[in-house]
Each structure stands twice: as structure tokens, then as C-alpha cells.
Amino acid sequence: MTFADMAPDRYPAILENACARSRFLLVCEHASHEIPGRWGDLGLPEELRQAHIAWDPGALGLSRGLARRLDAALVHAPVSRLVYDCNRAPDQPGAMTERSEMHEIPGNRRLSPEERAARTAAIYAPFHADLRAEIVRRLAQGAAPVLVTVHSFTPVWHGQPRAVEFGIIHDHDPALALAVLEESRDSGLVCGLNEPYSAADDVTHTLRLQALPYGLANVMLEIRNDLIATPEAEEAMAERLAPILARALGSLAAPAMAG
Amino acid sequence: MTFADMAPDRYPAILENACARSRFLLVCEHASHEIPGRWGDLGLPEELRQAHIAWDPGALGLSRGLARRLDAALVHAPVSRLVYDCNRAPDQPGAMTERSEMHEIPGNRRLSPEERAARTAAIYAPFHADLRAEIVRRLAQGAAPVLVTVHSFTPVWHGQPRAVEFGIIHDHDPALALAVLEESRDSGLVCGLNEPYSAADDVTHTLRLQALPYGLANVMLEIRNDLIATPEAEEAMAERLAPILARALGSLAAPAMAG
């Protein structure tokens, strides 16, 4: 028996722009609000299943705009983070959350260990295996991928408005994040380093899992979602951020070496 | 097209003792000297294809002995490290090495980027995806796995004899390694912390990739291979080391928490 046989159903990552030629590899863990049929509606009304608790509105559109402009590949997840949040390890409370902001998720209440394992095998494991496959293929071919995860955040959280518009977040290796911050000076955006949250809030799982072990340059980007609320706004933001990312990478002295 | 379609052939990890109940998860990356037919003999005589450059003699037998005594699962690689060394990232020179100790590996000379990518997809990617699947299944079910990689080393290296018998190696998280060293005091073995080599020699890839991102307690063990040269010696060494590992884990104050 192989390990794959243990997972009755798999939701592979979606890869776009596979043959892109730049070093950038864009990742969008919260691209989709799709809840596959086997998980029903998780006990939530339609409105909440479309809201920011289910996905990062605008993040996929922005990522696609960046991918085109940067000639970058893009990997994104096909399932709502309400079923499994691919930016969380399986033992983190947020992986299959019982609560998001002020909303209870009835379909996630008191999940059995078997159900937690089944969702992990069906969604988390294939997503990260597929992303890793793309990274290691490039490494094997002599390329030095640069991992950029793209997220959006809600302008109001627990009733409090958030002033920051563009959050730049790092884990143990801050080099690319600091370079992006530096290059964002004249962007006209209210920028925040490690805002609206930071690695201490356990939001950098993908960076830790996929970039740090290989010594890849990496950063997590967070855009306030009211700034990318339409396809036109997504495009405009991509047009604004793509040159910032390109300059930031160029400013790093040398390609990141594997650790 | 899914990512899996890109790999024409896969060599999945081998899982033994899947239903074991202890927290230990044993890993043996260099368990096999098998070279699948598609890679011929790599231009090496039979003698070298059986020698320590191809695998870690005794490591699998020792791992099995430990797995039985510790009630631990064991994950091992089915292909010789001469084809792909699963304890190396694809961009590390040792991943598909052109030279091992004083021996050239003709079949690895000037590999094309395509061949490097094919071996990575066929051997490295499935091994680590399968190992990760086992780790995250346990995490999802509320368990806190403890990763122990088991290796052997040659008593003579480039003509120099090595005095150390039992090497205990760590990466950024030294807790379990220090506990194993402490519990080995009365083992009668010549112990060495980060000997005969260390993380600085890039030998801790599996720990970095599989343990650190999840905050798992972890250690890499290296046994001098003349001490595990027969099935009886493997068993005797397992009998000696199993209680050391059990006591070392017990001495850690609390289960490692995900980072």
C-alpha cells in the first residue's frame, strides 16, 4: 500500500503559468471560497461562505496580475480555508477553525481525529506536496525560486478599522520583506512591516515549510481587500506592486543560497 | 494536468509499523543500495554499488530493531543515495553526487537539468511527501511526533580512522540531541555531539524540512557501521539505544509545540 492510497480523495494545487521564466513563484493559499460537496455548507449561510472568513477576496486576481507582469508561476489552493487553511499546520487551531472573527463554524465543531486527518490528507498534504514539487524541480534545474505568498485582509476586524493598506510579513529570514518595504516608500500605500499580524501569530506557515528549509528568498504580502474589490482594482494594484517586487529582488545582493 | 503527471515514475517511501503507538517516527533515508534499472549501474562496479557510498550499511536493520522496541513507525527510502540522496535538497551538490569520498560516479557526471529534475520528481519529492503525510496525519489527530533519523558512517574516511562510535547531530533545535547525549553517558559508546559531521556540513536536510517547520522534537543519529555489521550486531545496538532514546524523550519537559 502506498501513502496515497490512504487518502480517498485529493484536491491538488492549481498551477498557472508553469513555464514562466522569472524566479518569482507566487502562492495563494486562500484563493478560493469553494466548499466541495462532501463538506456541505459547514452550517453557514451563503453570505458567510462568500465572505472573507472563507477566502481572501481579491488575492487570486491580484496574484494573476502579478504573475503576468513578473513572468511568474502561480500556485493556488482550490478549497476554502474554512475546510482546511493551507497556511496552517494540522495541529494549529486555525487549520480547521471552529471560529473565524466573530463567527462560529458549525461544521468544524469538535472534529474527530479521523476527520481532521482526512481533511489534512485531502487538502493540506497535496497542496504542499504540489507546491514543493514545483520548488524542487526548479532547484534541481539550477534555478533559485523566490517565494511570494499573496493574501488580503479585511478593512474592519472585530469592529476596528485597520489603517494599514499593504502589509509585508516575514519569518526568520527578513531580507526580501525589508527590500519590499524599502521599495514601497513611494507607492502611496500605507505600508506596515509585520502588519496587520506577524509570524508570532502563526501566519507564516507556508514560508516556514516551503522557503526556509531551502534558503529561498521569501515574503508574505497582505493587501487590504477594499483596495482590490473589483477586477479593475486588482489589475491596478498588480501594476503598482509588480515593479516594487522586481526592484526589491534586484536589490538583494545575490541569489539566496540553500541553507 | 496535475503535478503528479509530470513525474513519469515514482519511488514512494516505504512505511513500516504504521500503526505503532509511540511518538517516535524513525526515518532512514539511506536504507537501500538499490539502483533501479533505468539508471543502469551508474558506471560503477558491483563492489562499489554495495559499499557505504551507496547506502548506510546497518542503518535499516538498526532502525527496525529500534522501531520494534520503541513501538515506532519507520519510513525509509527505496533507492540508493547514489541516484538521489533524500537527505539533500535538489540544489545541494550531494543530492546527485558526482563524487563520493574518493570515488567518481560516472553515471552522475554533468547531469542535464532535465535529468536532475526527473530524479528529483521520481525519488526526492515522493519520499518527502510520503514522510510529511505521515507526520501531518499524526499532527491532525492530536499526536506530537518525534523525528529520529538513523544513519551509519564508515570507520575510515579518506584513509583516516574515526574514533567516534555514536554521533548525535542537531540543527537549530538541539533539545532532543542534548537529551540523547546526556542519556548516553553510561552507554559504553564513544559519543560525539555533531560528529562526525554537523548541520554546517548540510547533513540535516530532513530535520530542517520535516521537523523544524512543525516544531517537532528531532535528532539525527549516526552509528559507526562496523558496530552494526551483522544482523546480531544491529539487534544488540538497537537494544542498547532504544532505552536511551526513550529516556531522552521522557526527560524533555513537555511535548514540542508547533512553532
What tens digit of pLDDT does each residue of B201-259 get?
A: 989 999 999 999 999 999 999 999 999 999 999 999 999 999 999 999 999 965 544 43
- Look at residue B94 and give its three-state secondary structure: helix
Question: What mean pLDDT do residues B57-72 have?
Answer: 97
* pLDDT (tens digit per residue) in A124-171: 999 999 999 999 999 999 999 999 999 999 999 988 999 999 999 999
Question: What mean pLDDT do residues A196-214 have?
Answer: 95
B59 vs A148: CA distance, rounded Å = 39
SS (H, E, C) chain A: CCHHHHCCCCCCCEEECCCCCCCEEEEECCCCCCCCHHHCCCCCCHHHHCCCCCCCCCHHHHHHHHHHHHCCEEEECCCCCCCCCCCCCCCCHHHHCCEECCEECHHHCCCCHHHHHHHHHHHHHHHHHHHHHHHHHHHHCCCCCEEEEEEEECCEECCEECCCCEEEECCCCCHHHHHHHHHCCCCCCCEEECCCCCHHHCCCHHHHHHHHHHCCCEEEEEEEHHHHCCHHHHHHHHHHHHHHHHHHHHHCCCCCCCC
Of B15, B120, B213, the CB nearest to A137: B120
CB proximity A11 to B under 8 Å: no
Q: A142 vs B113: CB contact, 8 Å cut-off?
A: yes
* pLDDT (tens digit per residue) in B124-137: 999 999 999 999 99
Per-residue pLDDT at A253: 64
Task: Work out the pLDDT band at A2, boundaries 50, 70, 90.
Answer: very low
Per-residue pLDDT at A8: 52
The reply to whether A65 falls in a domain is yes
List chain B residues with CB under 8 Å of A7. Answer: 133
Question: What mean pLDDT do residues A40-69 have?
Answer: 96
Nine cell digits for residue A166: 499593504
Looking at this predicted complex, what is its ipTM?
0.77
Task: Work out the pLDDT band at A7, boundaries 50, 70, 90.
Answer: very low
**Environment class of A186 (CB within 10 Å of its CB; exposed 0-12, middle 13-18, buried 19+):** exposed
Chain B, nearest residue to A7 by Cα: B133
The reply to whether B231 falls in a domain is yes
* pLDDT (tens digit per residue) in A73-112: 999 999 999 999 999 999 999 999 999 888 999 999 999 9
Chain A, nearest residue to B75 by Cα: A3
The reply to whether B25 falls in a domain is yes
Per-residue pLDDT at B39: 94
CB proximity B236 to A under 8 Å: no
Per-residue pLDDT at A19: 86
> Is the predicted pLDDT of residue A258 greater than 50, yes or no?
no
Q: A91 vs B258: CB contact, 8 Å cut-off?
A: yes
Sign, CA torsion B232/B234/B237/B238: negative
Q: A120 vs B137: CB contact, 8 Å cut-off?
A: yes
Per-residue pLDDT at A4: 43
Q: A139 vs B90: CB contact, 8 Å cut-off?
A: yes
Task: Work out the pLDDT band at B6, boundaries 50, 70, 90.
Answer: very low
Task: Work out the pLDDT band at A254, boundaries 50, 70, 90.
Answer: low
The reply to whether B132 falls in a domain is yes
Per-residue pLDDT at B101: 84
Per-residue pLDDT at B254: 52
The reply to whether A257 falls in a domain is no
Per-residue pLDDT at A102: 87
Looking up residue A11, the CATH number of its domain turns out to be 3.40.630.40
Q: B140 vs A132: CB contact, 8 Å cut-off?
A: no
For chain B, the domain total comes to 1
Cβ atoms within 10 Å, residue B22? 18
Per-residue pLDDT at B257: 47
Q: A129 vs B124: CB contact, 8 Å cut-off?
A: no
Sign, CA torsion A85/A88/A92/A94: negative
Per-residue pLDDT at A1: 37
The reply to whether B259 falls in a domain is no
CB proximity B129 to A under 8 Å: yes
CB proximity B141 to A under 8 Å: yes
Cα→Cα distances A115→A78, A90, A111, A220, Å: 19, 12, 6, 30
In the block, cell 518525534 appears at B146
The reply to whether B257 falls in a domain is no
Of A92, A95, A136, the CB nearest to B90: A136
Chain B closest CA to A76's CA: distance in Å?
A: 13
Restricting to B residues 72-91, those with a Cβ less than 8 Å away from any Cβ of A are: 89-91
Question: By residue range, what is the domain housing residue B83?
Answer: 3-251
Of A137, A144, A205, the CB nearest to B121: A137
Question: What mean pLDDT do residues B31-40 have?
Answer: 94
Candidates A91, A123, A203, A216: best to mutate against B (most CBs of B within 10 A) is: A91
> Is the predicted pLDDT of residue A229 greater than 90, yes or no?
yes
Q: Which residues contact A5 (CB under 8 A, 6 or more apart)?
A: none
Task: Work out the pLDDT band at A18, boundaries 50, 70, 90.
Answer: confident
CB proximity B15 to A under 8 Å: yes
- Look at residue B10 and give its three-state secondary structure: coil
CB proximity B171 to A under 8 Å: no
Nine cell digits for residue B250: 521522557
Task: Work out the pLDDT band at B19, boundaries 50, 70, 90.
Answer: confident
- Look at residue B122 and give its three-state secondary structure: helix
* pLDDT (tens digit per residue) in B150-176: 999 999 998 899 999 999 999 999 999
The reply to whether B55 falls in a domain is yes
More confident residue, B3 or B110: B110
Pairing of strands A73-76, A24-28: parallel
- Look at residue B228 and give its three-state secondary structure: helix
Among B76, B127, B120, B78, which residue's Cα sits nearest to residue B95?
B120
Question: What mean pLDDT do residues B181-196 have?
Answer: 96
